Amino acid sequence: MKLIKTIGLVLTGFLLYSSAIAQNPRNYEFRAVWVATVDNIDWPSSKNLSVEEQKAEYIKLLDMHQQNGMNAVIVQIRPAGDAFYPSQYEPWSEFLTGKQGLAPTPLYDPLEFMIKETHNRGMEFHAWLNPYRAVFNMHKSSIAPTHPTKLHPEWFLVYGDKKYFNPALPEVREHTAKIVKDIVSHYDIDAIHMDDYFYPYRISGKEFPDQQSYLLYGNGMNKENWRRSNCDSIIKLLYETIRAANPRVKFGISPFGIWRNKSQDPMGSETKGGQTNYDDLYADILLWLEKGWIDYVVPQLYWERGHKLADYNTLLEWWNQHSYGKQLFIGHGFYRAGTNPAWRNPNEIPKQIEAVRNYKTTQGSVYFNSKVFEKNPLGWCDSLRNNYYYYPALVPPMQWIDDAIPDQPIPTKLANGLIELAYKGKERIKAFGIFTLEEGAQVKFSNAQLVQIIVTEKTVNLDLAKVPDTEGKRVCVATVDRNNNVSQLVELK
Q: Supply φ then ψ for residue 480, to 5 degrees.
A: -115, 120
- Residue 266 CB burial class (10 angstroms; 0-12, 13-18, ≥19): exposed
Spell out the residues 6+ positions from residue 19 whose beta carbon is closer than 8 angstroms to its own: 387
- The domains of the chain are located at 24-388, 410-491
When computed from its CA atoms, the radius of gyration of the chain, rounded to whole angstroms, is 24
Q: What's residue 4's pLDDT?
A: 27
Give the Cα separation of 430 and 449 in Å (integer).
Answer: 19
| Domain topology for 410-491 | Immunoglobulin-like (2.60.40)
pLDDT tens profile 166-221? 999 999 999 999 999 999 999 999 999 999 999 999 999 999 999 999 999 999 99
Give the sign of the dihedral formed by CA 289, CA 79, CA 316, CA 330.
positive
Spatial strand order of the sheet with 162-165 comes to 133-135, 162-165, 156-159
pLDDT tens profile 211-262? 999 999 999 999 999 999 999 999 999 999 999 999 999 999 999 999 999 9
pLDDT at 14 over 90: no
Contact by Cβ (8 Å): 292, 286 = no
How does the average pLDDT of the chain come out, rounded?
94
Alpha-helical runs (H) found in 121-222: 148-151, 170-186, 211-217
Which three-class secondary structure state does DSSP give residue 229? helix
Q: Which of 225, 229, 281, 226 is nearest to 254 (CA)?
A: 281
Helix (H) or strand (E) holding 244: helix 223-245
pLDDT tens profile 355-382? 999 999 999 999 999 999 999 999 999 9
Give the Cα separation of 290 and 397 in Å (integer).
Answer: 19
DSSP 60: H
As its CATH architecture, domain 24-388 has Alpha-Beta Barrel (3.20)
Give the Cα separation of 208 and 227 in Å (integer).
Answer: 11
Average pLDDT over residues 44-50: 96
Q: What's residue 24's pLDDT?
A: 67
- Residue 485 CB burial class (10 angstroms; 0-12, 13-18, ≥19): buried
pLDDT band at 493 (very low <50, low <70, confident <90, very high): confident
pTM: 0.94
Average pLDDT over residues 390-411: 97
Cis peptide before 106 (omega within 30 of 0): yes
At 326, the amino acid letter reads K
Q: Supply φ then ψ for residue 53, to 5 degrees.
A: -70, -40
Q: What's residue 15's pLDDT?
A: 39
pLDDT tens profile 305-356? 999 999 999 999 999 999 999 999 999 999 999 999 999 999 999 999 999 9
Q: Supply φ then ψ for residue 412, to 5 degrees.
A: -135, 125
Give the Cα separation of 405 and 407 in Å (integer).
Answer: 7
**Range of lowest pLDDT (16-20, 151-155, 277-281, 452-456):** 16-20
DSSP string, 247-314: TT-EEEE--BS-S-BTTT-TTSBS---SS-IIIII---HHHHHHHT--SEE--EE-SPTT-SSS-HHH
pLDDT at 25 over 90: no
